[in-house]
Structure 1
Amino acid sequence: MALLDGMGRITIEVAGALLPLLIFFLAFQALYLKLPRVYIANLAKGILLAFLGMVLFLQGVSVAFLPAGREIGEAVAAIDQRWLLIPFGFFLGFLVTYAEPAVRVLCYQVGESSSGYIGESLILYTLSLGVAVSVSLGMARLAYAIPLLFFLIPGYLTAILLLPFSDREFIGIAFDSGGVATGPMAVTFLLSLAVGVAAGIEGRNPVTDGFGLIALIALAPILSVLVLGILYRRMQK
């Protein structure tokens, strides 16, 4: 696949996504905000950078992350010892979450807002380990044909049961973490990896079996941060 294949289509899609926001802001600027020209000039530069960044990122996803994840998944699925998918998923889940920009932003905001009470690195490692466990469970589901609901229903019930025991400062962080962990790195690479694994295992359907991993990734940070909140609460007592 050529590096610039499909870039024109992506550019048009990104422009179509940003244009309504730009029109919305200009209307408020003309009617209500009346911000100085310097601010408008900086805003225009920021929008241009965001436009270029989104185009380059989506193009990179299209030509690199998606095909690479699928090829790696199919290659790993060809291994006779299917149990190796579980530690492989743990390793990749940890690395992808550790590199996820949205996770870094959340950890920074948590550390700053709590004035260091909740460590930035502690949240980062908690989320990374939680997602690593969830990806390994997702690989086990693919390897041994375990229904997705066997993980989701007990997982969310456990999260609800943990709420009264966790430190209240961690509850909001926990549920936000679920959305943050399913950022662009996880969705683009790990999802295509799971679809590739499902395509490479005989008897698995990439549509019915390959999807569902992101749901597990969204659940894992909720549980891991709530458990961390329970530990903080016990340490305070």
Structure 2
Amino acid sequence: MNVLLDFLDMRHVVMELLLAFTPLVGFFAWMQYKSLRLPRSYVLKLLKGVLLSFLGLVLFLQGVTKGFLPAGTEIGRIIGEAPWRMALVPLGFLFGFAATAAEPAVRVLAIEMEKASGGSVGQRPVLVTLSVGVGLFVALGMVKLLLGLSILYFVVPGYALALLMTRFSTPEFIAAAFDAGGVATGPMTVTFVMAVVLGAAGALEGRNPVLDGFGLIALVALAPILSIMILGMFLSRKRSTTP
């Protein structure tokens, strides 16, 4: 019975992804027929990549539904009920760091930044900077949850600081920083870290999962903006002092 239910759930995921993939593949096919005229070998490789992406997303989303979300919620609930609930802060850093380092979109961003900069901005510094930044802000989100503070105390000053830092950062890093804010809030962070926070918020006395559990992703989106601009200012200063 459980196997049948899992299959039906997966069928639902497959149909949703087909609705998402079909317009993209259809648009490429139309452009290929009209003007692109790419070699057949390239088209076959592209279709192979689309198929692998489709299958990977089906398995990933099914795993999220059956594994990540329940596990994250249960971990948050157990820690929230424990007397050592302050462990949520260092664990928040660990979860945020690990989720960002494992996020495929973050790695793509790091690769593209290295290519666009001609190798002057390496993948590793970008990846480490983003992972540490998100880890710190997830830990900050755990502090917000434990103390019952409003999200406005963090988001408003944070984005004001981000806008202020644009005056001291280079245009290239400003653009990359704001893109990184969207890239870091990917499926790894949303599905696991947010589930932990919601589970903890439901277990902590006097906390509301809706009021106190949500808002973490806003902090996660802010972290890469500040982190990448700080990295840009550091690299610019390093280049200016290098003889």
Equivalent position amino acid for 1:54 in 2: L
Q: 1:62 to 1:231 in 2, by over 3 A?
A: same
Q: 1:45 to 1:95 in 2, by over 3 A?
A: closer
Unaligned runs of 5+ in 2: none
**How does 1:65-104 map onto structure 2 within 5 Å?**
65-104=68-107
Q: Give the stretch that moved more between structures: 38-47 or 90-99.
A: 38-47
RMSD: 2.0
Aligned partner of 1:52 in structure 2 is: 55
The alpha carbon displacement at 1:36 in A equals: 4.8
**How does 1:1-16 map onto structure 2 within 5 Å?**
4=7, 6-16=9-19
Match status 1:110 vs 2:90: no
Equivalent position amino acid for 1:70 in 2: T
**How does 1:1-237 map onto structure 2 within 5 Å?**
4=7, 6-235=9-238, 236-237=240-241
Equivalent position amino acid for 1:15 in 2: L
Question: Following the alignment from structure 2 to structure 1, what is the Cα–Cα distance between the partners of residues 47 and 232?
Answer: 42
Q: 1:196 to 1:18 in 2, by over 3 A?
A: same
Q: Give the stretch that moved more between structures: 78-87 or 35-44.
A: 35-44
What is the DSSP-based 3-state SS (H/G/I as helix, E as strand, rest coil) of the residue aligned with 2:209? Answer: coil
The alpha carbon displacement at 1:95 in A equals: 1.5
What is the DSSP-based 3-state SS (H/G/I as helix, E as strand, rest coil) of the residue aligned with 1:52? Answer: helix
The alpha carbon displacement at 1:4 in A equals: 4.4
The alpha carbon displacement at 1:41 in A equals: 3.4
CA contact (8 A) 1:178 1:222 kept: yes
Q: 1:38 to 1:207 in 2, by over 3 A?
A: same
Unaligned runs of 5+ in 1: none
The alpha carbon displacement at 1:139 in A equals: 0.5
Equivalent position amino acid for 1:185 in 2: M
Report Cα offsets for 1:183-218 as digits up to 9, x if no partner: 121111111111111111122222222111111001
The alpha carbon displacement at 1:107 in A equals: 1.3
Q: Give the stretch that moved more between structures: 160-169 or 51-60.
A: 160-169
Report Cα offsets for 1:121-160 as digits up to 9, x if no partner: 1111111111011100111111110100110000000011
Question: Following the alignment from structure 2 to structure 1, what is the Cα–Cα distance between the partners of residues 27 and 47?
Answer: 14
The alpha carbon displacement at 1:39 in A equals: 4.1
Q: 1:128 to 1:37 in 2, by over 3 A?
A: closer
Question: Following the alignment from structure 1 to structure 2, what is the Cα–Cα distance between the partners of residues 220 and 38?
Answer: 41
Q: 1:33 to 1:110 in 2, by over 3 A?
A: closer
Equivalenced residues, count: 237
Equivalent position amino acid for 1:162 in 2: M
Task: Give me the identity figure in percent.
Answer: 50
The alpha carbon displacement at 1:73 in A equals: 0.8
Equivalent position amino acid for 1:155 in 2: G
Report Cα offsets for 1:97-135 as digits up to 9, x if no partner: 122221112112222222232232111111111101110
Report Cα offsets for 1:205-232 as digits up to 9, x if no partner: 2222211111100101111221222223
Equivalent position amino acid for 2:206 in 1: G
